[in-house]
Amino acid sequence: MENEKYVMIPGPTPVVEPIQNAMGRKTAAFKDPEFVADFESVLADLKKLWKTDGEVFVVPGSGTLAMEMSVSNTLKSGDKVLIISHGYFGDRFVEIAERKNYDYKVLSAEWGTGIAPEKIREELSRDNYRGVIATHVDTSTGVKAPIEEIGRIVQNESDAVFIVDGVCATAAEKEYVDPMNIDILFTGSQKAFGVPPGLALIWAGPRAMKRRNKLGEINEYYGDFEKWLPIMHDPSNYFGTPAVNLIWALKASLSLIKKEGLESRFSRHERDARAIQAALETMGFEILAEKGWRAHTLSNVLYPEGINDEEFRDTLREEGAVVAGGLGDYAGKLFRLGHMGNIDEHVITSVLQAIERTLYRCGKDVDFGAGMKTYMQEKYS
């Protein structure tokens, strides 16, 4: 009998039944009063939960669209931009900056570590930056940036807008827009919200909206905040067709988040991540991210000597868990295990057991149950 397969990549994440059911409703007209009311409630919840007096945008598209919209609506050609990178997705902003003709500088960390906030403070004192960009959690490394401290520095030391890539963080790692001095926060629906791919979510705080107003007309059309703002204020208006069923799925996701409580959700992810990473280390793996920099949404897991990446991941798939491979210089050297969104303890323990079985099948001596014991002790200690 074939094992059920748990998708444990860093996104898309598993979609639980209430969200599936919402997604599967018969599609309505986008001006249907009931749908309009649902869309309004989604927008209100996003602003309230993530604490901004600015605006929120829910647009059909990917996290990459949200990334481009965030800079296009706050920065112009020639602006000085500081990019804080601790992995592949931080470096991705470099290509965007080149295409947008920004005068940019990159502070890059060795993979597995991050940039100390004091280095950011020092750099901001050297020049008049108009934008600072940081990835909260980079999926290539499993490193988490201290965005609250960075936001405080950017606010106090510069006139820059602070743009945070929350794609692998939002709804799992602690983030609040205005209280943390974040001017732009963006994510995609398919990560910690546990919604299928297809929605770009952007929070734009008051300073970001002031910057947008000063820019005047921009080159973007579909990605222009001002094109979408009338819809965000009244979803019965039209600019581009909303993703009706995805909006319903997001509404169901937000219902689950409100029921759990956002702070409780942050704490759950922290407890699970600490316990999962300890369990993996008990099994003989290492975690790429150094302690103090580790994310709560995924783990980048270095293989012990003698393990072949392709064999391990293929065998793990047979045992019931799908994980992602490494990126960049770590391709073939690690697997990436997502543990964010609406996964529960049953899924996590099943996956840890599947990893133990896979190690055994790959020729390693395995103390069966040791990883599980560590997980339970760490989580409930």
Residues making up the annotated binding site are 336
Annotated binding-site members for substrate: 336
Cβ within 8 Å of residue 326, ≥6 positions away: 140, 300, 309, 332, 333, 334, 335, 336
The sign of the CA dihedral 298, 304, 305, 310 is: negative
- Can you say whether residue 87 is alpha, beta or left, with left for phi > 0 and alpha for psi between -120 and 50 degrees? left
Distance (Å, whole) CA 179 – CA 194: 25
Cβ within 8 Å of residue 277, ≥6 positions away: 287, 294, 299
Longest dimension (CA), the chain: 64
Distance (Å, whole) CA 340 – CA 354: 18
- The token pair at 369 is 């149950």
CA angle 142, 167, 340 (to 5 degrees): 60
Distance (Å, whole) CA 363 – CA 366: 9
Nearest to 161 by CA among 117, 212, 227, 115: 212
Distance (Å, whole) CA 369 – CA 353: 8
Distance (Å, whole) CA 134 – CA 145: 8
Q: How many CA atoms does the CB half-sphere of 269 hold within 13 Å?
A: 27
Distance (Å, whole) CA 154 – CA 133: 10
